[in-house]
Amino acid sequence: MRIFLLLLFMTMSLLGFSQEPNQNDYAYNTIVKKTSKSSTSSKSDNKKESTFKAGEWLKFRMHYGALNASYATLHVKNDKIDGVPVYHVVGKGKTTGWASLFFKVDDTYESYFSKEDGRPLKFVRKIDEGGYKKDLEINFDHKEKKAVLNDKKSKKKTYFELQDSIQDLISAFYYLRNNYDADSLEVGKSINMKMLYDDDGIFNFKLKYMGKEVLKTKYGKVECHRFMPLVQSGRVFKEQESLSLWVSTDKNRIPIRISADLAVGAIKADLDGYNGLMHQFKIIVD
């Protein structure tokens, strides 16, 4: 449950393993439609092209077999850091019903990232998962090219040297939504990016593109891009390609479904509610 909630919060989450890109992979700046130079374009251009806005709220319902295991939400807000306007996204996840009797989860993830270029400025992770607790805060200083992770539980600080295009667990999802070029996606190729969200350090995240599919949802049929985050097979997942993510092909690019074949059973999360979308949510009408 804990690992799957991590995936849900970023939606393209951090279950990947460190691996160098090969000839079948996209370099990070190839998959995005704008380089860092163009990310400093006018505010009007950014607003016109944005896939989300403050007020967007997404809710997901997670199933383990026939059991409703938990709910998770993502909420985009306006905020300020040192007087500078930023997006502040709050992700919350909790087990519910019978699932909470077997394994109780109460997680909160927060990310503060730039409205100009999507770079993370602050990341908060507070989790309580069956008694396993963490209380972390990461502050990113892009000018000095460093990040400081403050483990409030152990009262320990860890310092990291920042690399190009670094993202945290939450900011990565919104950055990719705003920047990947759908016209450049090719089946079998992968998106690679660098992530920092825990004291394990900076590592490579790999997301393989599998093509377009139409899903039946509670809202009707939705055309989606299907991605496959590469994961480690073994204790949790059956195989390296056990996980699938479907993202709407409309201008919102919101996650519609996530499914995973686990070592024991299978788990699925579906979009269960939404509000404040930037664009019209497109449903296929037969």
DSSP 30-89: HHBSS-TTGGGS-HHHHHHH-S--TT-EEEEEEEETTEEEEEEEEEEEEEEETTEEEEEE
Q: How far is CA 67 from the centre of its chain?
A: 24
Can you give the pLDDT at residue 57?
97
How does pLDDT run across 164-175, given as a tens digit for each residue?
Answer: 789 998 998 899
Which residue in 77, 278, 65 sits closest to 177, CA to CA? 278
Q: What's the token pair of residue 273?
A: 């509610």
Non-local CB neighbours of 160 within 8 Å, separated by 6+ positions? 146, 147, 148, 149, 196, 201, 202
Record the tokens describing residue 86, joined without a space.
Answer: 């930023």
- How do strand 57-64 and strand 266-275 relate by DSSP bridges? antiparallel
* Pairwise CA distance, residues 126 & 169, whole Å: 13
Checking if the pLDDT of 17 tops 60, the result is: no
Mean pLDDT of 223-246: 67
111 within 8 A of 123, measured Cβ to Cβ: yes
d(CA 246, CA 116): 27
CB 276 within 8 A of CB 53: yes
Tens of pLDDT, residues 25-43: 444 444 444 434 444 344 4
- Distances in Å between the Cα of 217 and the Cα atoms of 70, 134, 224, 270, 271 are 18, 35, 11, 8, 8
- pLDDT, one tens digit per residue, over 243-257 is 889 999 999 999 999
User: Cα separation of 207 and 25, whole Å?
Assistant: 9
- For 233, the token pair is 């097979």
What pLDDT does 98 receive? 67
| The pLDDT of residue 23 | 43
Q: Indicate whether 211 pLDDT > 90.
A: yes
For residue range 80-136, list pLDDT tens digits in order: 999 999 999 999 988 877 666 677 788 899 999 999 999 999 999 998 877 889 999
> Rounded mean pLDDT of 148-153?
96
3-state secondary structure 169-203: CCHHHHHHHHHECHHHCCCCCEEEEEECCCCCCCE
Sign of CA dihedral 231, 237, 242, 243: negative
